[in-house]
Amino acid sequence: MISKINSANFTHWKSQLRAHMRFKGLDLNLLAALDVLLECRSTTETARRLNLSQPTISSALGRLRDYFGDDLLVNVGREMVPTPLAEELGPAIAELLNIARFRIVHAEAFDPRTSRRKFRVLASDYLFDVLLANALARAAQVAPHITFEIGNIGPQGTRSFERGDIDLMITVPKFMLAGYPSEELFADCDVVVCWSGGRYAQGVDEAAFAQAEFAMALFGEARRTALSDMHFAEAGLALNAAVHVPSFSALPGAVCGTDRLAVMHRRHALFFQRLYPLVVHPLPVPGAHISEMAQWHPLRRKDAGLSWLLELLRGEVANIQEG
């Protein structure tokens, strides 16, 4: 976990960097490339992230290797692995770059009408469908030059967030990271959905819920269970999973044409009811409380751009709560 930045931390990391390199003769822009290389461990992905060519990144890595007298990243199989020196330098470089970004550059005034900033947000497909899609449409009207990168929350995304490379992460309290600023955006509840032509179209009672087959979502390579399904398991109710899908958005397609059920957040179910022949029923058993929380890195507490983004999301939250 990255500690809260203060002047003592800054001095500590700066002294560590100076112990390993002479700033004279080093293009400090190369540090930004090395920071992304250590995160992505791929020259191709680093080039994409920085909007540069792959040969340019390879050349930058060569210059960094010459400067430090170290390979920094070595190929092991299909992955680039950092050397011990690179592992040691990584946190110092990331922290110094983030201080520059968010205490100097982004601390100044932000004008959405002219800004060309790129915001990176981590969120589920549920949040994209019910909140972010409308927010992006609104942003295109009021901030035409701003771009967005929306990613999934997973191990790599979490590491990027901890490094300060993510502007905003939206998740539920169970998966929040301790020690980071946050605010609640909105709450939701769970419902059960089924095909309008199936056996449960007229209703689902507790007995039927316990016996039915379900479509359920599992996320990422770790196959992480959704909060709603974790809630039932913790309550001692083991749902009969007949189909596993990789996202919330795949659940409606997995129940239509069958007698399967799926538990979905209410706003998402109503969203897909406009697209699929679905029936939405109340849960016949107690469900999880769904609270969607926005989190950001402490370095960004004076980031005017982040303040604008949060206000944009608050406006869209007001719209969906009225709907």
Q: Is the pLDDT of residue 12 over 70?
A: no
Minimal CA–CA distance to 36: which of 61, 70, 11, 65?
61
Position 125 scores a pLDDT of 96
Q: How far apart are CA 9 and CA 95, in angstroms?
A: 9
How does residue 7 score in pLDDT terms, banded at 50, 70 and 90?
A: very low
Give the CB-side neighbour count of residue 182, counting CA atoms within 13 A: 19
Q: How far apart are CA 85 and CA 81, in angstroms?
A: 11
Report the 10 Å Cβ neighbour count for 39.
18
How does residue 303 score in pLDDT terms, banded at 50, 70 and 90?
A: confident
Q: What percent of the chain has pLDDT over 70?
A: 89
Average pLDDT taken over every residue of the chain: 87
Lowest mean pLDDT among 93-107, 148-162, 293-307: 93-107
Mean pLDDT of 71-91: 89
Position 90 scores a pLDDT of 85
Q: Is the pLDDT of residue 322 over 70?
A: no
pLDDT digits (tens, 9 = 90+) for 143-194: 999 999 999 988 888 888 887 889 999 999 999 999 999 999 999 999 999 9
Sketch out the chain's domains with CATH numbers: 7-105 (1.10.10.10), 118-187+291-322 (3.40.190.10), 190-288 (3.40.190.10)
How does residue 57 score in pLDDT terms, banded at 50, 70 and 90?
A: very high
Position 1 scores a pLDDT of 32
Mean pLDDT of 68-87: 90
**3-class SS string, the chain:** CCCCCCHHHHHHHHHHHHHHCCCCCCCCHHHHHHHHHHHHCCHHHHHHHHCCCHHHHHHHHHHHHHHHCCCCEEEECCEEEECHHHHHHHHHHHHHHHHHHHHHHCCCCCCCCCCCCEEEEECCHHHHHHHHHHHHHHHHHHCCCCEEEEECCCHHHHHHHHHCCCCEEEECHHHCCCCCCEEEEEEECEEEEEECCCCCCCCCCHHHHHHCEEEEEEECCCCEECHHHHHHHHCCCCCEEEEEECCHHHHHHHHCCCCCEEEEEHHHHHHHHCCCCEEEEECCCCCCCEEEEEECCHHHCCCHHHHHHHHHHHHHHHHHHHC
Minimal CA–CA distance to 149: which of 113, 123, 131, 171?
123
Mean pLDDT of 192-206: 97
Position 108 scores a pLDDT of 61
Find out whether 33 and 60 touch, Cβ atoms under 8 Å.
Answer: yes
How does residue 103 score in pLDDT terms, banded at 50, 70 and 90?
A: low
How does residue 97 score in pLDDT terms, banded at 50, 70 and 90?
A: confident
pLDDT digits (tens, 9 = 90+) for 279-295: 999 999 999 999 999 99
